[in-house]
Amino acid sequence: MATATTPQDHDAGEALAERIRQASIDGTPLRIVGGDTRFFYGREVKGDELSTREHCGISFYDPVELVVSVRTGTPLAALEAALAEHGQILPFEPPRYGEASTVGGMVASGLSGPRRPWAGAVRDFVLGTRVINHEGIEQRFGGEVMKNVAGYDLSRLMVGAQGTLGLITEVSFKVLPAPGAVQSLHLELPLDEARLRLADWGREPLPISAAAWLDGALHLRLEGGPSSVAATRARIGGDELDNAFWSALRDQHLPFFRAGQAPLWRLSLPHRAPALDLPGIDESLMIHDWAGAQRWLRTELDAEAVRQACQAAGGHATCYGPRPAAIEPFTPLPEVLMKYHRNLKAQLDPKGIFNPGRLYAAF
Amino acid sequence: MNILYDERLDGPTPELDQAAIRDALLQAIPGMTLLHREEDMRPFECDGLSVYRTLPLLVALPDSMAQVERLLKECHRLGVPVVTRGAGTGLSAGALPLTHGVLLVMSRFSRILEIDAEARIARVEPGVRNLAISEAASPCGLYYAPDPSSQIACSIGGNVAENAGGVHCLKYGLTVHNVIKVEVLTIEGERMTLGSDALDAPGFDLLALFNGSEGMLGVVTEITVKLLPKPEVAKVLMASFDDVEKAGNAVGAIIEAGIIPGGLEMMDKLAIIAAEDFIGAGYPVEAEAILLCELDGVEADVDDDCETVRHVLEKAGATGIQQARDDDERAKFWAGRKNAFPAVGRMSPDYYCMDGTIPRRELARVLKGISELSERYGLKVANVFHAGDGNMHPLILFDANREGELAVAEALGGEILELCVRVGGTITGEHGVGREKINQMCAQFRPDELATFRAAKAAFDPHDLLNPGKNIPTPARCSEFRTIKSAAADTAPGALQG
């Protein structure tokens, strides 16, 4: 078993639990903060700040078991560095929106990077969580094994819930070996042609692990054994592309993300969804990541129109901050679904102390 | 402790008059098949764990979703519990009926609604058999990855309810990783869509919560699964070992070499002999353990990986290594493993299959513990093991016709599961808790954690009408479980320690 330590190894669980017990007694809302690098992802929370940063360190890592357990205040960069020492990775390639990005923020936001369509999302690699509940009791769901169906899957429920159901204090992940070979490619292709090729390649067992179309070119990444990567590279052609392109895309460092004042939209769509029915939108000015399943758009168009177009295509749209106050970040839920969201929130956080209003005004 | 529903421990049951409920349901849903005679309901009294049998109040066999919707609304109005059943192949009594509940059988919903090769998805009704999806997708070069051993018979709706696994989980995931969207009906008969045709959906990840929820949060009426391109090739290596521990260490060594096999299975001597007698798979009967390692993907990579694995196995002390020469031999190697349960079934009138999952590093200790328990209880145990992901299937051999032997098998099984929990594992990797492991949930979770599970259930089903009594034990049951355990510990100080 590897002993991995991060410089600030510290278990602040009891102090966090005490804060929550007190907040529960007082009915004080808490605003949970890790590295505060994902402030743009959701509604503003009014509450006392509860920082996870002191709750830091890798509590268990066994590369042979493919399992790592880590406290949620741990910087994401520190976790990935510890894995890299053993040639392993978080396969979902989580974005870092700054050096301060924490494991807790990664799990709470549930955002995944370019490898997501092929490898899976954050939630797919969560094996277990420790969560401090509304009474200030730390509870454990799931565990450190690959298969576990005992009880309801509350661990995965926490992913993307943005801390509204409890404070996640520790997460166990399944990790995987880093691919043996990586090759990124740049192919000048019109968007329509790129879509057709991706659809064809998608039906074959090719070692594609990222595909994004922007600026008139398809950007592809091949990952796998050296033999298959070389063979696929020879077959597909194109020019070599620096692998660093993918972290720039993942972390929103490309010029697209920095230019312009119009609100930034993340469109999550079925990958083969055609061009959206939106007036005045030039699809060639968008980024089509995830082989078309995640598209980035800057527009001043009415939020309702953007959302309707995405819903008509089978997806949804999220508005990243900074955004005008009138635009909700997340797509409103159908009535029945909203009812059960409220019920679940009321059951797991009856006093409404955890990040109230972060996802929706109603809870 | 009794596994069957016990009002004293599991909560009061409503007083229901069969004839009155039947009249009310038939009036609300004219034309729906509703069985009520004992001889008609008898085939539905158990699922794949047939040692537990209960005759339901009524058996409903709707053939339209409108009927399901009305049935749920009516049961909700009348306060009648509903147990949903798919193909009935489950191994944890998750679809065990209730004497005071309607059994809702979803097997008539067996249509594949859509195979979209370009989107690489299949949209199916819940009664569709697992294997039927892959068969329908096969002409497009696609398949559905999760492959429980019961895949010929089990239904996809049941797979979702149990978050079913199979032999390819380490690489391809469980049901939860391969389902992208479900349509559900709540107990109040409301329709909801969880997940989406895109890769994510707004709000909480209720799709993940519903996977493995054992039919206790809602009824799944339609499922969209992800299809994968069939791997170009799959090759299998079979390695034999003269020592179980060496085989266990070889598993870790393969993964340490950076290889994630498509399947990595281990069998112990008793399981090898049973499978060989039954199937003639070509297994080395003199071995203490065998490993089956399947590598799949692009041919060039698979060939490289086969070489690497062969070296690793040699170094780990394998006494023999055989690579299947062709697809026929590969199928033969797998046939022995996939038929291990019925094969063991031939050696004994009955067998009882456990489903604990452990960290792989604990394998040797747990196998030793199982063998000590097996001796102490006087029942043989054959071990079949999804070695790659740590999911064990110890098969306890017993004879239910011998007075008290089922109870001995249950007690031995319970101790094996508690051993799995003690080494950092879980009582169930893929079969579910159902009724079978309801007592061991008290060993795995604290009372406050179980209360959180009950809170999650109450958000969807506040009156506890969907499959009551399964999966999450009541405080009363756990309190009795702990009392019995501490009494046993006092009288047996030599009990096995994790």
pLDDT tens digits along B72-113:
999 999 999 999 999 999 999 999 999 999 999 999 999 999
DSSP state of B426: B
Unique residue bearing structure tokens 């537990």: B52
Indicate whether B447 belongs to any domain. yes
DSSP H or E stretch at residue B321: strand B320-323
Domain CATH number, residue B222: 3.30.465.10
pLDDT of B490? 75
Indicate whether B17 belongs to any domain. yes
User: Is pLDDT larger for residue B493 or for residue B250?
Assistant: B250
pLDDT tens track for B225-245: 999 999 999 999 999 999 999
Q: What is the Cα–Cα distance from A5 to A78, expressed in whole angstroms?
A: 9
Percent of chain B scored above 90 by pLDDT?
94
- Tell me: do B49 and B169 sit in the same domain: no
Average pLDDT, chain B: 95
Q: Using CA coordinates, name the residue in chain A closest to B160.
A: A149
**Third-level CATH fold of A181-250:** Alpha-Beta Plaits (3.30.70)
Residue A167 tokens read as 């404070």
Residue A2 pLDDT level (bands cut at 50, 70, 90): very low
Option in A141, A147, A228 nearest B298 (CB) = A228
pLDDT of B42? 98
Unique residue bearing structure tokens 């029945």: A336
Domain CATH number, residue B250: 3.30.70.2190
Indicate whether B442 belongs to any domain. yes
Residue A111 pLDDT level (bands cut at 50, 70, 90): very high
Q: What is the nearest CA distance from A100 to chain B, expressed in angstroms?
A: 25
pLDDT of B187? 98
Residues of chain B contacting residue A314, judged by C-beta atoms under 8 Å apart: 196-198
Indicate whether B314 belongs to any domain. yes
Q: What is the nearest CA distance from A314 to chain B, expressed in angstroms?
A: 6
Domain containing B187: what range?
112-229
ipTM of the complex: 0.97
Residues of chain A contacting residue B255, judged by C-beta atoms under 8 Å apart: 64, 66, 177
pLDDT of A259? 84
Whether residues A64 and B360 touch (CB distance < 8 A) is answered with: yes
Q: Using CA coordinates, name the residue in chain A closest to B356.
A: A148
pLDDT tens track for A58-95: 999 999 999 999 999 999 999 999 999 999 999 999 99
- Tell me: do B487 and B354 sit in the same domain: yes
Whether residues A293 and B305 touch (CB distance < 8 A) is answered with: no
Bridge partners, B108 (sequence order): none
Determine the average pLDDT of the residues in B240-261. 94
Q: What is the nearest CA distance from B488 to chain A, expressed in angstroms?
A: 25
Residue B101 tokens read as 């509940």
Last residue of a domain, one of B50, B80, B105: B105
B496 pLDDT higher than 90: no
Residue of B24, B29, B102 lying closest to B70 (CA atoms): B29
pLDDT of A18? 98
pLDDT of A277? 86
B498 pLDDT higher than 60: no
Option in A135, A156, A178 nearest B208 (CB) = A156
Unique residue bearing structure tokens 């929130």: A345
pLDDT of B488? 81
Last residue of a domain, one of B72, B105, B138: B105
Indicate whether B2 belongs to any domain. no
Domains: count for chain B: 4
pLDDT of B493? 44
**Third-level CATH fold of A13-177:** 3.30.465
- Tell me: do B154 and B35 sit in the same domain: no
- Tell me: do B18 and B54 sit in the same domain: yes
pLDDT of A7? 53
Indicate whether B498 belongs to any domain. no
Q: Do the beta carbons of residue B444 and residue B421 sit within 8 Å?
A: yes
Last residue of a domain, one of B105, B132, B155: B105
φ/ψ region of A291 (left if φ > 0, alpha if ψ in -120 to 50, else beta) reads: left
Q: How many CA atoms are closer than 13 Å to the CA of B185, on its beta-carbon side?
A: 25
3-class SS string, chain A? CCCCCCCCCECCHHHHHHHHHHHHHHCCCEEEECCCCCCCCCCCCCCEEEECCCCECEEEEECCCCEEEEECCCEHHHHHHHHHCCCEECCCCCCCCCCCCEHHHHHHHCCCCCCHHHHCCHHHHEEEEEEECCCCCEEEEECCCCCCCCCCCHHHHHCCCCCCCCEEEEEEEECEECCCEEEEEEEECCHHHHHHHHHHHHCCCCCEEEEEEECCEEEEEEEECHHHHHHHHHHHCCEEECCHHHHHHHCCCCHHHHCCCCCEEEEECCCCCCCCCCCCCCHHHCEEEHHHCEEEEECCCCHHHHHHHHHHCCCEEEEECCCCCCCCCCCCCCHHHHHHHHHHHHHHCCCCCECCCCCCCCC
- The residues spanned by each domain of chain A are 13-177, 181-250, 260-320
- Tell me: do B213 and B331 sit in the same domain: no
Q: Using CA coordinates, name the residue in chain A closest to B137.
A: A203
Q: What is the nearest CA distance from B355 to chain A, expressed in angstroms?
A: 10
A280-315 in b/e form (b: 16+ CB < 10 A) is ebeeeebbbbbbbbbbbbbbebebebbbebbeebbb
Residues of chain A contacting residue B176, judged by C-beta atoms under 8 Å apart: 124, 153, 156
B436 pLDDT higher than 50: yes
pLDDT tens track for A258-295: 988 899 999 999 999 999 989 989 999 999 999 999 99
| Distances, alpha carbon B419 to alpha carbons A19, B356, B369, B443, in Å | 36, 9, 8, 10
Angle B106-B110-B112 (CA atoms, 0-180°, nearest 5)? 135
pLDDT of A260? 84
- Tell me: do B87 and B124 sit in the same domain: no
- Tell me: do B287 and B334 sit in the same domain: yes
Indicate whether B496 belongs to any domain. no
- Tell me: do B300 and B273 sit in the same domain: yes
Determine the average pLDDT of the residues in A211-238. 96
pLDDT tens track for A21-57: 999 999 999 999 999 999 999 999 999 999 999 999 9
pLDDT tens track for B8-41: 999 999 999 999 999 999 999 999 999 999 999 9
Determine the average pLDDT of the residues in B472-484. 96
Angle A22-A28-A29 (CA atoms, 0-180°, nearest 5)? 120
Whether residues B255 and A340 touch (CB distance < 8 A) is answered with: no
Whether residues B303 and A207 touch (CB distance < 8 A) is answered with: no
pLDDT tens track for B375-416: 999 999 999 999 999 999 999 999 999 999 999 999 999 999
pLDDT of A1? 45
- Tell me: do B128 and B187 sit in the same domain: yes
Whether residues A225 and B305 touch (CB distance < 8 A) is answered with: yes
Q: Using CA coordinates, name the residue in chain B closest to A157.
A: B205
3-class SS string, B322-389? EECCCHHHHHHHHHHHHCHHHHHHHHCCEEEECCCECCHHHHHHHHHHHHHHHHHHCCCEEEEEECCC
B492 pLDDT higher than 70: no
Q: pTM value?
A: 0.96
Unique residue bearing structure tokens 């879509």: A195
A4 pLDDT higher than 50: no
pLDDT tens track for B4-16: 999 999 999 999 9
Determine the average pLDDT of the residues in A119-139. 98
Determine the average pLDDT of the residues in A302-329. 96
